Amino acid sequence: MEQSTKNYVESFMANIVANNPGEKEFHQAVREVVESVAPYIEAYPYLKELKVLERIAEPERVIMFRVPWVDDKGEIQINKGYRVQMNSALGPYKGGLRFHPSVNLSILKFLAFEQTFKNSLTTLPMGGGKGGSNFNPKGKSDNEVMRFCQSFMTELSKHIGQDTDVPAGDIGVGGREIGYMFGQYKRLRDEFTGTLTGKGLAWGGSLLRPEATGYGACYFAQDMLATRGKSFNGQTVVISGSGNVAQHAAEKATQLGAKVVTFSDSNGFIYDPDGIDQEKINYVKRLKNVIRGRIKEYVKEYPNAKYYPDERPWSIPCDIAMPCATQNEVNKEEALLLVKNGCYCVTEGANMPCDPDAIAVFHQAKILYSPGKASNAGGVATSGLEMSQNSIRQKWTSEEVDAQLHRIMSDIHAACVKYGTEEDGYINYVKGANIAGFIKVANAMVDQGVV
């Protein structure tokens, strides 16, 4: 990078840090994008003059609210609720809701910022947003979750709508929570519209939306592998997480001939040297989605597997790693270990799971590495397809949705290759995804004036 471009990045970041104090995840996400797009901005001075990047890094609106609810013992509980409406240049704000005790403004701003570029990459007309609460659904009864969701939606409903802002799921928000929130939204507004995605299949949900993020990540990985004449067939895959994204990444990787050997949760990971086949994946789906148990219970069912408490799975040798749990779950040491053990492809299913030092290790080793905003975009893309189906009041078959998902992931891969291929032929997917995602948003903002 030229010195003038470096200076631009550093002065931009100094402003971001000064104006958003203490928001370290947000700083991290912004820095990554700014480093990628700064040379592009230098080449097109009007983007600098119009302060497009400065505007992109400032949310259009942040809504923060109180979420009071009554637990099963009759005690009053108070949580924080948020919606970050980041950017509407390309369409209504779109992005998930996260319910997790770690949720704060920094995390939601980083997620909403990433979402803006991810949604742009999907080629569908969606702006970027994210929201959630520090509510912890773990250990709560269904009734408690319902009362929380109803209280949360009572306030959120004032700020969303099918043409304004369309939330969906993320960590801690799945079919159950979307159902409760949709019910309350419908009751308050007296309208049956596609204001949330990830709905039940019988009431407006799209076929394949639950599978889409994990499946899409595998479709993206297939294209990455193909650039090196490889495929999933016969490869060992290490996956973190055991929720929605992890389960479906494991399912598709297995269907494509890979051997998946790990799952994890926030307490530890399981390693199954025999491979986690479809029957075992079905067990994990039941364990996590129905019984709402912990991954350590896997080893009771499958005694050949081993449970490693308080550890992440990156010490297990593999060809392909798919981090599918949460942000900053792969650090420099773990990245070095992955590469040393022969891993040559890291495909992110989660949002920002590899920290900047880990990414530098992958780039230095010239292994295949894709950022979440490219490889996990299949989830929100299929949410976009759900919105289309709701608008035309039709339902597409799973073959139709799958074909569109496949095409969208391949188009994103092609965009990364177009903007990310370096002089020596190495594909820098971070650069490619950031520049391709940025161009569309930036041009739309230029067209729409200073708003």
User: C-beta of 175: minimal distance to ligand 2IT in Å?
Assistant: 13
Does residue 287 interact with ligand NDP by CB under 6 A?
Answer: no
Backbone angles phi, psi at 168, to 5 degrees: -150, -160
Does residue 204 interact with ligand NDP by CB under 6 A?
Answer: no
User: C-beta of 350: minimal distance to ligand NDP in Å?
Assistant: 3
Backbone angles phi, psi at 429, to 5 degrees: -70, -25
Query: Rg for the chain (alpha carbons), in Å?
Result: 21
Which of ligand 2IT, ligand NDP, none does residue 197 bind (CB under 5 to 8 Å by kind)?
A: ligand 2IT
User: Which DSSP letter does residue 207 get?
Assistant: T
CA–CA gap between residue 181 and residue 171 (Å, rounded): 15
- Looking at beta carbons only, is 53 or 324 nearer to ligand NDP? 324
- Looking at beta carbons only, is 151 or 326 nearer to ligand NDP? 326
Which residue has tokens 């820098």? 428
Residue nearest to ligand NDP (CB): 243
Does residue 437 interact with ligand NDP by CB under 6 A?
Answer: no
- Looking at beta carbons only, is 204 or 379 nearer to ligand NDP? 379
User: C-beta of 199: minimal distance to ligand NDP in Å?
Assistant: 13
Q: Which residues bind ligand 2IT (CB under 6 A)?
A: 94-96, 115, 118, 168, 170, 197, 351, 379-380, 383
- Length in residues, the chain: 451
Which of ligand 2IT, ligand NDP, none does residue 94 bind (CB under 5 to 8 Å by kind)?
A: ligand 2IT
CA–CA gap between residue 81 and residue 414 (Å, rounded): 38
- Going across the sheet that includes 128-133, the strands are 61-70, 76-87, 128-133, 93-99, 165-168
Does residue 376 interact with ligand NDP by CB under 6 A?
Answer: yes
3 state SS of 378: helix
H helices within 190-226, ranges in order? 209-226
CB atoms under 10 Å from CB of 76, counted, come to 8
User: C-beta of 14: minimal distance to ligand 2IT in Å?
Assistant: 28
Which of ligand 2IT, ligand NDP, none does residue 171 bind (CB under 5 to 8 Å by kind)?
A: ligand NDP
Stretch that binds ligand NDP, among 175-183, 236-244, 270-278, 299-307 (CB under 6 A): 236-244
> What one-character-per-residue DSSP string does 280-332 give?
HHHHHHIIIIIS---GGGHHHH-TTSEEEET--GGGS--SEEE--S-TT-B-H
What six digits make up the tokens of 64?
């923060």
- For the question of residue 296 being annotated catalytic, the response is no
Does residue 206 interact with ligand NDP by CB under 6 A?
Answer: no
Stretch that binds ligand NDP, among 76-84, 176-184, 235-243, 431-439 (CB under 6 A): 235-243
- Looking at beta carbons only, is 91 or 95 nearer to ligand NDP? 95
Which of ligand 2IT, ligand NDP, none does residue 151 bind (CB under 5 to 8 Å by kind)?
A: none
What per-residue string of b and e applies to 6-37 under the rule 16 or more CB within 10 Å gives b? eebbeebbeebbeebeebebbbbbbbbbbbbb
User: Can you give the binding site for ligand NDP, defined by CB under 6 A?
Assistant: 169-172, 174, 213, 241-246, 265-267, 324-326, 349-351, 376, 379
Question: Which residues are catalytic, by number?
Answer: 130
